Amino acid sequence: VIGAQITLAPTIAPSPTSSVTLNSFPTKSGNPTLRPTTISSTPSMAPSILPSPTPSILPSKLTNLPSLTPTILPSPTPTILPSQIPTILSSRTPTILPSRTPAILPSHTPTILPSQTPTISPSKETSFSPSSEPSVSPPLPDMKNSLAQLTISKCGTTHEERRTAITATLETVSDPALLITQGTPQNTALEWIVELDTLCVCPDDDNLVQRYVLAVFYYSMGGGTWNQCNAPANFADTSSIADADASCFTIGNGLDMFQEETFNGNNAWLTPSDECYWGGLACLNATHRLDRIEFENDGLSGILPSELQSLTELRFLILEEGHIEGTIPTELGSLEKLHVLDLNFNRLIGTIPTEIYNINYLFELDLNDNFLSGTIATEIGKLRFLRFLQLDFNILSGTIPSEIGNMESLRIADFFSNGLVGDMPQSICDNRDWTGGHLRRLTADCDPGNILFVNCPVPQCCTACPNITIWT
């Protein structure tokens, strides 16, 4: 009735028509009121039976079912079931069950059970149970997919097309059978190049072969057990790379009589930096080609790979005081620009390859303290510019070739502690410094008290007859 006073309590049954003015208490009306109720600044004390179509400014204390739309701020108490859509800010208290969709930011407190899908960034605290899948960063959940995407953007090919093209190129460097045989240094290096190296070299990159050969060298020489400069445990993790770099102090900056301009570094091996910056290496500024490999007492072990022949600009191969075994690769003779070959204090066996004597500008041949056998070939006389020759402490036999007398640049020649016999050739004695030559040190097993000895009078020819010998 118009003008009648409105009751303060709701009726038992709803009115057939809506009232104009709102009741102070809700009714179980079948029809809505003409005007909506005034929105309260605070939530109701008890939850509604069904969720509101739009969120309240502040969350309800507790609901039986989650809201269809997230609240502006998270609830102080979790709902029984998780929301279909995450809140904008993370909850400080975890839900009983994890959300189906990850939150934009991780929770301050982990959920009791792990999420099925990882969050974009990892949580600061560990969950009670581990996640079914790792968070996106770090580490990367799928390096292969990441490299596949990088391959497309950088190389313009698919991952498989890149693998095929790289393999075809490297088959000209290594034995194709070794490339596909699991466990070989060649196959391990190929897989690292294609699947793990986040630098992601392309098939037509100039440094592909150089980077691959160095990876073969690393896996051939016991990489991972070196005293320093070992590859990181995780090739994609920045903290792992930083830790590996921090443990590398070797720098390839030895003497160079020609003073070529080079650059180097002390990064760990197989890191995503330019390989020229790996510890113990140096590259030429002009060509970006490898100029030097230099290690001393770093625990290198294994067999020298023939792939080193592909480092065509290499001038210094210095691998001292290690545990290198096997024979000296004959392929090293193709390194036409090599100046120094220093492999002393290792466990090398076999003969000295005659191919080494074809290196025209070899200035230093240092092979002492190994287990090299056989004779010294007469072809050694072709090393006209050799200045430093150390063959002591091996098990060489036969005589010292007179052709060494043709090596007029020779300053130091050590032959002692071997099984050499006969006379020291006069052509070598004629090169002694006191006769106008350059040879200032010449040693051999010239003590007649030895069962095997070289007839070399001191000081007329030899400078000393060291008493240390394995042939007594």
pLDDT in tens, 378-411: 999 999 999 999 999 999 999 999 999 999 999 9
**What pLDDT is attached to residue 133?**
53
Q: Number of helices (H) and strands (E), helices first, in the chain?
A: 7, 17
Contacts (Cβ under 8 Å, ≥6 apart) of 153:
none
**What pLDDT is attached to residue 64?**
46
Q: Looking at 192-331, which runs of residues are DSSP E strands?
A: 262-264, 281-284, 290-296, 301-303, 316-320, 323-325
Residue 86 has pLDDT above 70, yes or no: no
Q: In terms of DSSP bridges, do strands 323-325 and 349-350 run parallel, antiparallel, or are they unpaired?
A: unpaired
pTM for the model: 0.71
**Percent of the chain residues past pLDDT 70, beyond the cut:** 68
pLDDT digits (tens, 9 = 90+) for 321-360: 999 999 999 999 999 999 999 999 999 999 999 999 999 9
End-to-end CA distance of the chain: 134
User: Is residue 404 helix, strand or coil?
Assistant: helix
Q: Which has the minimum average pLDDT: 81-95, 158-172, 202-216?
A: 81-95
Q: Which residues pair with 294 in a beta bridge?
A: 318
**What pLDDT is attached to residue 242?**
98
Work out whether the CA dihedral 149, 155, 161, 167 comes out positive or negative.
negative
pLDDT digits (tens, 9 = 90+) for 261-287: 999 999 999 999 999 999 999 999 999
Q: Residue 144 — very low, low, confident or very high, per pLDDT cuts 50/70/90?
A: low
For residue 219, count CB atoms less than 10 angstroms from its CB and return exposed for 0-12, middle for 13-18, buried for 19 or more.
buried
**What pLDDT is attached to residue 75?**
53
pLDDT digits (tens, 9 = 90+) for 113-142: 455 545 444 554 455 455 555 544 444 446
For residue 136, count CB atoms less than 10 angstroms from its CB and return exposed for 0-12, middle for 13-18, buried for 19 or more.
middle
Q: State mean pLDDT over 301-325.
A: 98
**What pLDDT is attached to residue 152?**
87
Return the axis-axis angle of helices 159-170 and 208-220, rounded to nearest 10°. 70
Q: State mean pLDDT over 407-419.
A: 97
Please check whether residue 356 is in contact with residue 376, taking contact to mean a CB–CB distance below 8 angstroms: no
Q: Residue 31 — very low, low, confident or very high, per pLDDT cuts 50/70/90?
A: very low
The segment with the largest mean pLDDT, out of 40-49, 72-81, 332-341, is 332-341
C-alpha to C-alpha distances, 287 to 261, 275, 276, 340, nearest whole angstrom: 10, 14, 12, 20
**Residue-averaged pLDDT of the chain:** 81
